[in-house]
Structure 1
Amino acid sequence: MGRNAHHLRQRHHLNTGDVSDETSLTRKYKYDYTKEYSDKKWPYLHGKMDNCAKFLFIAFPSLVIYGIYTVWLSAMLRNMVNTRLPVSQIIPSNASSAQVDPERFWGSYRPGVYFGLKTRSPHSPVVGMMWMTPLTSGPMPPLRHWCEQGDQLPFYSWLVHDGVNFGIHEAIDHHYTITSDFVKQPGGQHGGDWTARMTVKPRPKFEGAIVSLFFYIALDGQGTLQPKIRRGYLEGVEGWSEELGDFQMLFPSPTSRRTQSVHHYLVTYASGLDDLTEMVKRSFRVFYWDKEKRLPYYGLGGTMLPKDMQQSQANFVVYQVTTTLPYEMEVNFESGSSDHTTHLTGQVFTSQLSEHMHQFDHKFESLFGLKKHGFSTVHQSFAKTALSNMIGGIGYFHGTSLVQSRYTPEPVDYWPAPLYTAVPSRSFFPRGFLWDEGFHNLLIAKWDQRLSMDIIGHWLDLMNVEGWIPREQILGTEARAKVPKEFVVQRNENANPPTLFLPLQSIVRSLVASNKETDRQFLQHLYPRLQAWYKWFNTTQLGTVPSTYKWKGRNPNAINELNPKTLTSGLDDYPRASHPTDDERHLDLRCWMALASGVMADIAKSLNESWQVYDSAYATLTDNKLLDTLHWSDTAERYCDYGLHTDHAKLVRPKPPKPTSPNQPPPPPKDKERVVMQPPKLGFVDKSFGYVSLFPFLLKILQPDSLKLRKILVDLQDPSLLWTRYGLRSLAKNAPLYNKHNSEHDPPYWRGAIWININYLAVSALHHYAHSNGPYQEKAASIYTELRNNIINNMVEQYRKTGYVWEQYDSTTGRGKGSHPFTGWSALVVAMMAELY
């Protein structure tokens, strides 16, 4: 389409020239007409007028048609960025409804809050919990609600979560531990019932601590809430929504308390789900716990609606209990269409929770076999938490992305769409990321393949008519509230690694082997979307040399960056060619496309579709000789990118301008800018050995008898390059940009830290080559054992010390770094422990 548009622009330029000539010619005739009229030369005038009329008769309709065509083409190009791909959806629009999938209708689909539940519907009511430590005479104590690293909690995570029936969440605050359990019970036509039980226990040395717990329900655009208030006490809420029908939510009875406690409530109107925390804060009033000692605490102010609103318009109801510890309470949700002969409370709740835990433990061991692998109970508990926090971090979002193309002068809305997806980090990245999701589903598919198929289907249904998927999904007010405005807009030239093909490798084999009609139908709906995605990569991300690829989106004018970032590759600041040009060849993208070609060929063959194009592409992209020609540096003896590059550059602060007067104050210092000390040359970027150099090995493209494989295995074990006692660092210690800032305010990210997703690929590749006939089996097996142990032992040790799984790990100390908890792709350590690749 880009080439066609270019030709049309050329034609428009030529035709514009023709129009200019016609105008000049018309003026000439007009002049002649006046002259001839004054001279009474009618025959000449008649001839000229006749020619002019003929010309206009022919040209005018053509100009009109061309104008209409130009307007139509311009509108079409503008609309392509937010037009759906015109093929059947993989996930039908009603697939997540209570009628079609009641088991997964309710869930912990709000990963950005410490504890929250909602349904898989576009405008679901949401429920959740907040808490604070009261009794303070100073500023208002922090109100915990959103997962925030700034809260500095010693620990929070889902300890156990099966993705369907139940979950157990634990949050350790400085004075107490809050355990939040929920269990679902099927029944009726609207997704059944559930109960949440909150148990708060004081930590050692904090006996007698006091906590304020808040449990709320809020509407998101439709439905009604009717609080049940008796003698100033909020007993529960009756409500209705399109998806849930009639329902009620019951709070604990004040007569059941065994501790000193007081109760408050809030009935109000919230402008959006992103405003719930601040709305609670604005509703606080000061009360006194002990009137003699005058110990103040914050309590909710009751019904607080705008003056022009009726109570029936309230959309946010909060129950608050302030109590001494220990304390336990249950909140019970009951659907109006369920049979309530047995209520999911008390001993019934305890019994069902125990049964679900037993089933979880049995399934976990049968799938991962960590006892069989000889892991301790500490290691097993760590693995269960890592898996559960990934499963419990799966969210259901609905909304519109903000997108832009070269044809849209301003960002435009994508179509409203749902997304069912895991998230990288509940605190820092509680939303969908395309390349992360491929790694997530390597683990999720091992736990529940159907769940993974649902997630992958939702992602591919976000594809537009071009075959493009926005790489970061920020859907709904809650998700958008966590993202700075400058990162919200997604641009359709920008790719992301097609990592969904990683889990699809094994999923496709499984579906083909099952020979079930439903599995075949899934592949039939999957295939045209993957075709469009594959074609989009092969039309937008091609290099100038055949069978090479180039990540689009690098900024050649980024004067404040030492090496312009390649955000689209997922490896952000990893060193590439220093001067972005069209001549770049990116090794990692070429390898990703080799993987995609192989999977596409497998799916096409299984469906009896034409597979030869994909098979041919796979043969070309895995041809080791061609790979060596395009990406092997004989000088450095490693695979690498190619481009216009120099390693001789540094960041320098520009000198301030000279003052124009003696009393002029000095201007603020400018940000540092890149200074190139040696001109760049076209060639291999071969002094930066790191993750990109490993991609032919990581994605198992190298033949088992390849001498290049032998060189990579030798380099892997070199401590001066990537090898550490904690995993493989992302960039070699002798690389020019190792651990260097990319800008004055941009610390190193993929320039030395240990990343678990790439280490998983390395361990998987070593396992592959250790079991492939070839001269390097023993060496690969030896490295595999040591690297796997290093990664597992360090991650468990850091979890024991800090309470978290981390985004990355320091290559010198092994210490966790970056965001936490990061049980996105870092949870792949569970698959490494189980040796499932």
Structure 2
Amino acid sequence: MWFRQKLSQNDGGLPIRHVCRQEDNLNTYYWNYNDLHSFGHQTLIDGNLHLNTSFIRLIDDDAIISRISIIDAFRTNELNSIILYVAAENGSDDNLTLFQDDNKLIWIKVESKQSGNYRLNFHINKGDRILQSFLTTNSTMDRLEQTVKSHLFFYKHEGRTLFVISNSEQENIMHRSNFIAYQVIFNQSIEIDISMFFNDSMMAPNHNDFVYDDEMNKRQENFQANFNEKFHFGHHISAEKIKFARIILSNAIGSIGYYYGYSLVDSEQSNIARPYGPIQLLAVAPSRSVFPRGFLWDEGFQQLLISRWDPKLSMAIIKSWFSLMNENGWIPREVILGDEARSRVPNEFLVQHSSNANPPSLLLSIESLIDRRQFDREWLQEMYPRLFRWYQWFNTTQIGPAKFPFSFRWRGRNSTTTFELNPKTLASGLDDYPRATHPNDEEIHLDLRCWMALASRLMSKISKVLEIDDKFQEYYQILSDDHLLEELHWSNEYQMFCDKGLHSKNVNLKKFHRDNRSWIEREVHTPPHYDCVGEFGYISLFPFIMTLLSPDNPKLETILMNIENPEILWTPYGLRSLSQRSLYYKKYNTEHDPPYWRGSIWINMNYLVLKALNHYSKIPGPYQTRAQQIHSRLKANLVQAIHTEFIRTGYVWEQYQDDNGHGHGAHPFTGWTSLIVLIMADE
């Protein structure tokens, strides 16, 4: 934690920086380097305060050395505080003890039944230390900041009133505790080393030749060399953009977290939420500030990048996700484990529904590992039974109506609401993207059918690799058959692939007034009938994205034409999610639910489009040259737009506005936006 020793002019509170929040409005923060295993270096800029945090893991000595430096870049002469703390999650099973040696060396001993014993030494290397103080108490993980605030007291020092942490008079500083905080108040700058030792020695290991800065420089050079070897950027990519790509990769790696605890899940037989677990997960958090947890749909895209850098790490993360699978083959779409994670999630999203799916995007990463032959056969053999069970779960629980063989339908849409312009389809990952206006069991979803084609293709590949009976090739041939796909999902009227369902083309949100109250509700002006949902956008591209169309299919020309049309998907910054001609383009879904997948540019879908364009540009056919030309233009637009916005704002973003390319939504968002690294490297 850190804060300035003065109250905020906005709300009169003490502006403590602690958990990663957009509301703190930092200028920027990012990992310059991070390989997860051995070292990392991070920069944070908070107004006049410039922070650098780093760590080096010393494998032979079983130790981690971290360094934190803060500089007042504007030399304001204001006092600032940094609070370093240790918190143990296991309550009475852990014990923390604070030691102080002649006011020079501060160290904390941790005794833990679960994670073992270790020590942390704190040493101020340099800086303008004014005062230091300590706090030993108990706290839960989700209330650490509140605990600190409740133990801040006024303290007069050389004519200044300071906010200082301390135990209250009623608390015994030596009592058994699970939370110890160490505060340093400083003026212009401070640099502190924190050494974490897992061996029995109470002091630092003897390194005659170890100099922190030298070792950090050496590891950064090795990282850069490895980065250059793994990602081949063309001569047209500038050195500045290559540095940007390295930062994005480092942020993706630096967002990997380990999560443990219970999730809340309701079963198909009961609407009662029950604890599910204990479970553990290794996952990439898409956004440290807004989504600091695992998301199934996001992870598949994130692992496309991680697997290029470190295939073994990626395989471990993918395996971790499949370890969450229940006996039926269902995997949670969002994993919220423990009090700390739950404190960051609105109540309505806490419970996971075991009847609802999420796009099986992890299959993209698994297929990439197999195609590049960067997988372990033992890992794949271990994964196969769970992959088979997942496949079977989709193929039995998400099937469409019997009258439409080989069709599929996402579950979880609200068929009774009148307060949404178009009932959301959260299971699809595309949330408010327009589907049939009146959900029922008869609708069929194009994107899910294409995901199942991908799943069948991958399962067939795995069967061949493992030399076992291939039960999937025939099913893949059916799902990838152009004519069968067109019978189900092509509309001659709209000249597009589409969902089909009970749909009205004339709906809007209207404000009503009655009995001194007002509300907004949907009006349906034209009765719904079973039809194509003729709103061209990302979903319309799925047969193309999954490369299910033969290279000479004339439908391919129509899709390429719509991609290039500025009134439909094309912008100078990437492909928008929904056509400008759509009834739903940039429309709110409820009074308080702004457009999400209704016009903004999303990098994961643009990446899949580029991948498909690359595929068709290498296969002989009438549209080969056009696919190659669109690929070149789209890639250039995306790279320029995302890099420009990073320079302008200091962040990469969840989505980008289609009219000016400005970032929108969660930031920093190095989930699937990190795919820009693969886009730059033509992978």
TM-score, normalized by the shorter chain, greater than 0.5: yes
Moved more, 339-348 or 752-761: 339-348
| Contact 1:543–1:584 (8 Å) recurs in 2 | yes
Question: C-alpha offsets along residues 220-256 of structure 1, whole Å, 9 cap, x if unaligned?
Answer: 1132211003567771112222355332211125xx5
Q: Which secondary structure does the structure 1 equivalent of 2:123 belong to?
A: coil
Q: Which runs of structure 2 are paired with 1:349-360 in the superposition (5 Å)?
A: 349-360=212-223
Q: 1:131 to 1:355 in 2, by over 3 A?
A: same
Structure 2: how far apart are the matches of 1:443 and 1:217?
A: 33
Counterpart position of 1:535: 392
- 1:723 counterpart = 2:570: yes
Indicate if the aligned counterparts of 1:176 and 1:206 stay in contact, CA closer than 8 A.
no
Instruction: Note if contact 1:224-1:312 (Cα within 8 Å) is conserved in structure 2.
Output: no
Aligned to 1:152: 25
Q: Does 1:367 align with 2:215?
A: no
The 8 Å contact of residues 87 and 179 in structure 2, kept in 1 or not, is answered as yes
Q: 1:442 to 1:742 in 2, by over 3 A?
A: same
Q: Do structure 1's residue 679 and structure 2's residue 527 form an aligned pair?
A: yes
Indicate the residue corresponding to 1:803 in structure 2. Answer: 650
- Give the corresponding residue for 1:252: 123
Contact 2:422 2:434 in 1 (8 A): yes
Correspondence 1:744 to 2:591:
yes
Sort the Cα spacing of 1:738 and 1:250 in 2 relative to 1 into closer, same or farther, 3 A. Answer: same
Structure 2 residue 421 is matched with structure 1 residue 562: yes
Q: 2:250 aligns with which of 388, 393, 399?
A: 388
Is the contact between residue 194 and residue 344 of structure 1 (CA under 8 Å) also seen in structure 2? no
SS of 2:290's equivalent in the other structure is coil
Q: How does 1:366-515 map to 2 (within 5 A)?
A: 366-370=229-233, 372-511=234-373
Once the two structures are superposed, residues 263-321 of structure 1 have per-residue CA deviations (whole angstroms, 9 ceiling, x without a partner) of 11111111x11111111111101123431xxx3221111x45975x7835111111111
In structure 1, the residue matched to 2:453 is 594
SS at match of 1:178: strand
TM-score between both structures, scaled by the size of structure 2:
0.96
SS at match of 1:628: helix
Contact 2:412 2:425 in 1 (8 A): yes
Q: Is residue 332–residue 345 contact of structure 1 (8 Å, CA) maintained in 2?
A: no
Residue by residue over 1:418-458, the C-alpha shift from the partner in whole angstroms, topping out at 9 and shown as x without a partner, is 10000111000000100100000010100100010000000
Equivalent residues of 2:289, 2:666 under 8 A apart: yes
Q: Distance in 1 between matches of 2:78 and 2:552?
A: 65
* 2:477 equivalent among 612, 619, 623: 619
Q: Could you tell me how far apart the structure 2 residues matched to 1:559 and 1:339 are? A: 66
The 8 Å contact of residues 176 and 201 in structure 1, kept in 2 or not, is answered as yes
* 1:161-180 alignment runs, 5 A limit: 161-180=34-53
Counterpart for residue 132 of structure 1? 3
Contact preservation (8 Å) 1:798, 1:815? yes
Counterpart Cα distance in 2 of 1:579 and 1:226: 61
Q: 1:287 to 1:575 in 2, by over 3 A?
A: same
Aligned length: 677
* CA deviation string 1:383-437 (max 9, x = no partner): 1111111100000000111000232242111120110000111000000100100
Q: Could you tell me which runs of 5 or more consecutive residues in structure 2 were left unpaired when the two chains were aligned.
A: none
Aligned counterparts of 2:346 and 2:143: Cα–Cα separation in 1 = 16
Distance 2:513 2:259 in 1: 49
Give the 3 Å change call, closer, same or farther, for CA 792–760 of structure 1 in structure 2: same
The 1-side partners of 2:514 and 2:295 are apart by 41
The C-alpha deviation readout for 1:30-50, integer Å capped at 9, x for no partner, is xxxxxxxxxxxxxxxxxxxxx
1:794 aligns with 2:657: no
1:208 matched residue in structure 2: 77
CA positional deviation for 1:576: 0.3
Change (3 A) 1:289 1:781: farther
Q: SS of the counterpart of 2:117? A: strand
Secondary structure at the counterpart of residue 219 of structure 2: helix
Question: Does residue 330 of structure 1 match 2:178?
Answer: no
For 1:229 and 1:276, the matched residues in 2 are separated by: 23
Could you tell me how far apart the structure 1 residues matched to 2:443 and 2:270 are?
Answer: 27
Structure 1 residue aligned with 2:86 = 217
What SS does the corresponding residue of 1:672 show, helix, strand or coil?
A: strand
2:99 to 208, 221, 228: 228
Deviation at 1:164, TM superposition (A): 1.0
Work out the CA distance in 2 between the residues paired with 1:148 and 1:234: 32
- 2:113 — aligned with what? 242
| C-alpha contact 1:187 1:338 (8 A) present in aligned 2 | no
Asked if 1:280 is matched to 2:145, the reply is no
- Deviation per CA, 1:345-391: give whole Å up to 9, x if none: 99522222111101110011111123x43322221221111111110
2:318 corresponds to 1:318: no
**Structure 1 residues 409, 243: closer, same or farther in 2, change over 3 A?**
closer
CA contact (8 A) 2:195 2:204 kept: no
Of all paired residues, the percent bearing the same amino acid is 41
SS of corresponding position for 2:153: strand
Point out the structure with the larger helix share: 1
Say if 2:265 and 2:351, in contact at 8 Å, map to a contact too. Answer: yes
Unaligned runs of 5+ in 1: 1-129, 658-666
Residues 519-534 of structure 1: matches in 2 within 5 Å? 519-534=376-391
Q: 1:773 aligns with which of 617, 620, 629?
A: 620
The secondary structure found in structure 2 opposite 1:505 is: helix
Aligned to 2:165: 300
The residue correspondences of 1:641-656 to structure 2 (distance < 5 A) are 641-656=499-514
Equivalent position to 2:60, from 180, 187, 201: 187
Partner of residue 517, structure 2: 668
Tell me how far 1:509 sits from its aligned partner. 3.6
**Structure having the larger proportion of residues in strand:** 2
Report which of the two structures shows the higher radius of gyration computed on alpha carbons.
Answer: 1
What CA deviation, in whole Å up to 9, does each residue of 1:516-558 have, x standing for no partner? xxx2221111001011100110111100111100001000111
Cα distance in 2 between the residues matched to 1:508 and 1:460? 17
Distance (whole Å) between structure 1 residues aligned to residue 464 and residue 202 of structure 2: 49
Helix, strand or coil at the partner of 2:512: coil
In structure 1, distance between residues paired with 2:613 and 2:203 = 55
Q: Quick one: distance in 2 between partners of 1:713 and 1:705?
A: 13
Distance 2:384 2:596 in 1: 36
Supply the distance in 1 between the matched residues of 2:261 and 2:472 (Cα, whole angstroms).
35
Contact 2:105 2:123 survives alignment (8 Å): no
Letter in 2 for 1:284: L
Residues 117-171 of structure 1 show CA distances to partners (whole Å, capped at 9, x for unaligned) of xxxxxxxxxxxxx100114497342100111111011101112101211111111
Which amino acid in 1 is paired with 2:499? D
RMSD of the TM alignment (CA)?
2.0
For residue 782 of structure 1, the aligned residue among 612, 624, 629 is 629
Aligned amino acid, residue 174 of structure 2: Q
Q: Aligned letter for 1:201?
A: I
- Cα shift at 1:605: 1.9
Partner of residue 130 from structure 2, selected from 261, 264, 270: 261
Question: Is the contact made by 1:193 and 1:338 (CA closer than 8 Å) also made in structure 2?
Answer: no
Change (3 A) 1:751 1:561: same
Residue pair 1:332, 1:344 contacting (<8 A) in 2 also: no
What residue number does 1:91 align with? Answer: none
**Paired residues of 2:257 and 2:285 also in contact (CA < 8 A):** yes
The separation in 2 between residues aligned to 1:502 and 1:480, in whole angstroms, is: 29
Instruction: Give yes or no for the alignment of 1:197 onto 2:67.
Output: yes
Amino acid of the residue matched to residue 433 of structure 1? F
Separation (CA, whole Å) in 2 of partners of 1:338 and 1:603: 49
SS of 1:325's equivalent in the other structure is: strand
Matched-pair contact (CA < 8 Å) for 1:181–1:197: yes
Contact 1:726 1:791 (C-alpha < 8 Å) held by counterparts = yes
Match of 2:661 among 808, 814, 829: 814
Give the superposition deviation at 1:610: 1.9
